[in-house]
Amino acid sequence: MLTVPAPSYRYLAEKYNIKKSTLWARHRKGQQSRSKAQRLRQSQRVLTISQEKEVITCIEDSAEWGFPLRYDMLRDLVSTIAKKRNPDFERLGKNWVRRFLSRYPHLRGKMSAGLDKQRKLASTRGIFEHYFDQELIRIITLFGIQPQYISNCDEKGICIGLVGREKVIVKRGEKHPFVPQDGNREMVTILETIVAQLRIASEVVIGFFEARENDDLLPGCGFATSLNGWTNKKIFRWWIEHHFDFYTRPADPSVHRLLILDGHNSHITIDALNYCRQNNIHILCLPAHTTHRLQPLDVGMFGPLQRAYGQAVEAWSRKGYSSITKAEFFKLYDYARKKAFTPENVSSAFAATGVFPLNKNVVLDKL
DSSP-derived letter for residue 207 is: E
Local structure of residue 305 (DSSP, 8 states): H
Range with the poorest average pLDDT among 27-36, 211-220, 239-248, 295-304: 211-220
Q: Which residues contact 343 (CB under 8 A, 6 or more apart)?
A: 198, 199, 200
SS3 21: helix
Q: Please give the helix or strand (H or E) that residue 100 lies within, else none.
A: helix 96-103
Residue type, 214: N
CB neighbour class for 89 (10 Å; exposed up to 12, middle 13-18, buried from 19) = middle
Residues 242, 226: Cα–Cα separation, whole Å: 17
What distance in Å separates the CA atoms of residue 8 and residue 14, rounded to the nearest whole number?
A: 10
pLDDT at residue 56 greater than cutoff 80: yes
Segment 325-360, tens digit of pLDDT: 777 888 888 889 889 999 899 999 999 999 999 999
22-26, 37-41, 153-157, 249-253: least confidently modelled range:
37-41
Mean pLDDT score, 106-126: 67
Q: Count Cβ atoms within 10 A of the Cβ of residue 195 and give its class: 0-12 exposed, 13-18 middle, 19 or more buried.
A: buried
Among the residue ranges 1-5, 244-248, 263-267, 295-299, the one predicted with the least confidence is 1-5
Task: Tell me the C-alpha distance between 323 and 182, whole Å.
Answer: 6
From 8-22, 27-41, 54-68, 130-144, the region with the lowest mean pLDDT: 27-41
pLDDT band at 8 (very low <50, low <70, confident <90, very high): confident
Q: Which residues pair with 156 in a beta bridge?
A: 190
What are the structural domain ranges in the chain? Answer: 32-103, 115-364
Q: Which residue has the higher pLDDT, 226 or 29?
A: 226
Question: In this predicted structure, what is the pLDDT of residue 170?
Answer: 44
Question: Has residue 271 got a pLDDT over 50?
Answer: yes
More confident residue, 355 or 199: 355
Would you say residue 175 has pLDDT above 60?
no
User: What is the average pLDDT across 186-201?
Assistant: 76
Please give the average per-residue pLDDT across 3-18, as a whole number: 74
As a residue count, the chain comes to 367
- pLDDT band at 227; cut points 50, 70, 90: confident
What's the confidence (pLDDT) of residue 228? Answer: 72
Beta strand ranges found along 35-180 (DSSP E): 150-159
324-328 contact pairs (CB < 8 A, 24+): 324/160, 324/161, 324/182, 324/184, 326/160, 326/188, 326/207, 326/209, 327/217
Rounded to an integer, what distance in angstroms lies between the CA atom of residue 37 and that of residue 47? Answer: 17
* pLDDT for position 321: 63
> What's the pLDDT score for residue 131?
92
- Give the residue with greater pLDDT, 202 vs 259: 259
For the stretch 99-117, what's the b/e string if a residue is b when 16 or more beta carbons lie within 10 angstroms of its beta carbon? ebbeeeeeeeeeeeeeeee
Average pLDDT over residues 53-73: 82
Q: How far apart are CA 154 and CA 302, in angstroms?
A: 10
Q: Per residue in 4-37, is it b (16+ CB within 10 Å) or e — as a string?
A: eeeeebeeebeeeeeeeeebeeeeeeeeeeeeee
Q: Which of 295, 284, 256, 285 shows the shortest CA–CA distance to 149? A: 256
pLDDT score of 208: 40
CATH of domain 115-364: 3.30.420.10
Query: Higher model confidence: residue 189 or residue 173?
Result: 189
71-90 pLDDT, tens digit each: 888 888 899 888 888 888 88
Q: Indicate whether 207 pLDDT > 60.
A: no
